[in-house]
Amino acid sequence: MTLTLSDLIEERISRRGAMERIAATAAGVYALSGCASRSARVMNQEGPKVPILGFTAVPHEMDEFLHVSPGYTAQVLMRWGDPVLPGAEPFDPYQQTPEKQAGQFGFNNDFIAFMPLPKGSQTATHGLLCVNHEYIAPDLAFPEGTPVSSESVSIELQAVGHSVIEIHRTKKGWATVNDSRYARRINAADTVIRISGPAAGHSRLKTIDDPSGKRVLGTFANCAGGQTPWGTVLLAEENFHYSFSGTGEGTPEERNHARIGLKRTKQTRWSRFDPRFDASQRPTEPNRYGWIVEYDPYDQESVPVKRTALGRFKHECATTVIGSDGRLAVYSGDDKAFEYIYRFVSRDKVRLDKPEANRDLLDDGVLSVARLSADGTLEWLPLVYGQGPLTPANGFNSQADVLIETRTAADLLGATKMDRPEDVGVCPISGRVYVMLTQNKKRTAEQTDAAHTRAQNLGGHILEILPPKVDGKADHSAERARWDVLLLAGDPSVPEHGAHYGPRAQADDWLVNPDNCAFDRYGRLWIATDMAPRTTGTADGLFACPIDGPDRARPRRLVALPKGAELCGPCFTPDARTLFISVQHPAEGSTFDKPSTRWPDFRADWPARAAVVVITKDDGGVIGD
């Protein structure tokens, strides 16, 4: 019998060698994957005990409400417009101003990091919640008939970026700390951000406002992110191109703008009132976005830094892990069909004993892009100026050029084109790496390969990367690794989805469009979905999915969201007894005045509002057990 690539990949999913899994699970590694970072030390001490999932799955349905499994409680903690900074005014959706929004929680919250207080502790009841605000949806943010004006655009610029709030657990649940000295808003309007690394000061980052090429105003399109072992937070700039108009046609940036997706000839909302966002007039301005931003949430006065050594593209995340040699690896997906998976490895080792020594660790290292082969091997291809095709003959005259045009450099190296690589998680027990591939409707039958066996991939899938071991620990700086597929997402009852899960999966144990992810302290993968309403007519939500044992690749839904909403930023406290999630753009596809849901306030005169929700177990136990 002749086996197709689909046959081979399904065999890899269902019959992967037991000895390989046992060996991988038994080995410990200090990993940081979103909010799993602080619990990694505890995990390695306790060993690889993985409890069986004990909750009842939420059905595949959708309505106006947020649903959690029986025995769990969902508490709305922060909503768009809630006060963040001391003295901020209460929210009034009909009387919003830039000044008010500057002190309030931003729009469309995404990535969440829980940073314990005091710094360096393992506390699970007091900390800082660091939250991205990816973008603003004008139809949901402003009443019908609100004109596009300098003031409305200023509100939008203040509503994106990032928030830091101090929270603590009380007998009645989680609460924010008013007038916290840590409270902070980072925005796209006036937050000063330093540029560092190989591209800092390069002529292609210089503008009329910043002739040094080392300072930029603001960050936006902040999707997922990460956190470092030394207590800083990483923000990933993703779909920044949507805010710019102009194509750079006739300028040296024409190829660069086209490859990054900057194609708008008509003015965007922002470019109509802020000249920074008109690339036809300021062609180097877009080069100052699409980076990873690092900042210290424990120091309100710290200046955020764009780390150019990690490359410029539509970063979904910046997931960090200390490898077997003590150096830091940072994994990131480029969220677009046929884009790539990247890994940065620092030149120097992490100093856990001296956090201040890591201040500029992300400025020196090697960025690589993944190439997957049909035999299950993965090769990391270095993106280094002067090596291979990355030379002046192809438009690269320095390492800065390689990093500014990371996508073009990856094209020339022959990296594997993926099905929308989004978040990346690293298992805190085994060190295995998991990449969420959301979907790719554009892939044709002729474009399928060993890692992408389905044309018009509607449901997405999850890639598993297995770094080699050194003394029982994952070597995240190795040039080669092995790859596998955890699951092929989709509804098994729909043949064209081509879904495939673990052998013990039941009829309702399925998901579509994996997006964000996190690991709990037991090494269980938690998967957030995006676009399920469009794919299957069901709500997006959060799924627990064991990656080892008899229930490997068997997802079970804990949370279902209201109409139009996407679940982002799942994040656990170190004891795994509290789970934070972002509910983004509820009522998407409708309007401020006539929303499809008025969650979470359900006031007849108020719009839907994005919010951070706290999930706890009614008996105070571990989430998922």
State the pLDDT at residue 10.
52
Q: Which residues contact 317 (CB under 8 A, 6 or more apart)?
A: 111, 223, 224, 225, 226, 236, 331, 332, 333, 422, 423, 424, 516
Locate 289 and state its tokens: 């976005």
Q: Percentage of the chain with pLDDT > 90?
A: 90
Is residue 476 domain-resident?
yes
* Tally of domains within the chain: 1
Is residue 268 domain-resident?
no
Q: Which residues contact 322 (CB under 8 A, 6 or more apart)?
A: 29, 30, 31, 32, 229, 328, 329, 350, 476
Mean pLDDT of 373-390: 98
In the predicted model, is pLDDT for residue 200 greater than 70? Answer: yes
Q: By residue range, what is the domain housing residue 370?
A: 5-76+97-121+130-238+290-617
State the pLDDT at residue 42.
27
Instruction: Transcribe 24-44 into DSSP letters.
Output: HHH----B--GGGGGGHHHHH
Mean pLDDT of 565-571: 98
Task: Tell me the three-class secondary structure of 322-339, residue by residue.
Answer: ECCCCEEEEEEEECCEEE
- Does the CA dihedral 605-609-612-617 come out positive or negative? positive
Is residue 275 domain-resident?
no
State the pLDDT at residue 24.
38
Identify the H or E element spanning 366. strand 365-372
pLDDT-derived band at 258 (thresholds 50, 70, 90) equals very high
State the pLDDT at residue 13.
52
Least confident of 19-33, 280-294, 311-325, 611-625: 19-33
Q: How many residues does the chain have?
A: 625
The mean pLDDT of the chain is 92
State the pLDDT at residue 3.
35
* Higher per-residue pLDDT: 567 or 41: 567
613, 76 contact by CB (below 8 A): yes
pLDDT-derived band at 49 (thresholds 50, 70, 90) equals low
Count CB-CB contacts under 10 A for residue 59. Answer: 12
Mean pLDDT of 233-245: 97
Instruction: Transcribe 432-476 into DSSP letters.
Output: -EEEEE--BTT--GGG-BTTB--TTBSS-EEEEEE--EETTEE-T
Mean pLDDT of 181-189: 98
Within 13 Å of residue 329, how many CA atoms lie on the same side as its CB?
30
In the predicted model, is pLDDT for residue 75 greater than 50? Answer: yes
446, 456 contact by CB (below 8 A): no
In the predicted model, is pLDDT for residue 2 greater than 90? Answer: no
In the predicted model, is pLDDT for residue 31 greater than 80? Answer: no
Bridge pairing between strands 480-488 and 365-372: unpaired
In the predicted model, is pLDDT for residue 43 greater than 70? Answer: no
Bridge partner list, 114: 129
588, 140 contact by CB (below 8 A): yes
DSSP 157: H
State the pLDDT at residue 52.
82
Tell me the pLDDT tens digit for each residue of 290-344.
999 999 999 999 999 999 999 999 999 999 999 999 999 999 999 999 999 999 9
In the predicted model, is pLDDT for residue 15 greater than 80? Answer: no
Is residue 252 domain-resident?
no
Mean pLDDT of 493-519: 96
User: Nearest CA to 74 among 62, 58, 93, 59?
Assistant: 58
255, 237 contact by CB (below 8 A): no
Strands ordered across the beta sheet of 292-295: 215-217, 192-196, 305-307, 292-295, 233-237, 222-227
Is residue 72 domain-resident?
yes
Tell me the pLDDT tens digit for each residue of 90-135.
999 999 999 999 999 999 999 999 999 999 999 999 999 999 999 9
Is residue 278 domain-resident?
no
In the predicted model, is pLDDT for residue 22 greater than 80? Answer: no
Is residue 285 domain-resident?
no
State the pLDDT at residue 9.
56
State the pLDDT at residue 581.
98
First vs last Cα of the chain: how many Å apart? 43
Q: What is the identity of the amino acid at 115?
A: M
Bridge partner list, 571: 580
Rounded to whole angstroms, the Cα distance separating 15 from 438 reads 24
State the pLDDT at residue 253.
97
Count CB-CB contacts under 10 A for residue 11. Answer: 11
Q: Which residues contact 455 (CB under 8 A, 6 or more apart)?
A: 443, 444, 445, 447, 448
CA-based R_g, the chain, Å: 23
pLDDT-derived band at 423 (thresholds 50, 70, 90) equals very high
Is residue 273 domain-resident?
no
Tell me the pLDDT tens digit for each residue of 345-379.
999 999 999 999 999 999 999 999 999 999 999 99
Mean pLDDT of 394-402: 98
Phi first, then psi, for residue 399 (nearest 5°) are -65, -30
Mean pLDDT of 520-540: 96
Rounded to whole angstroms, the Cα distance separating 572 from 112 reads 9
State the pLDDT at residue 12.
53
Locate 204 and state its tokens: 């292609």
pLDDT-derived band at 45 (thresholds 50, 70, 90) equals very low
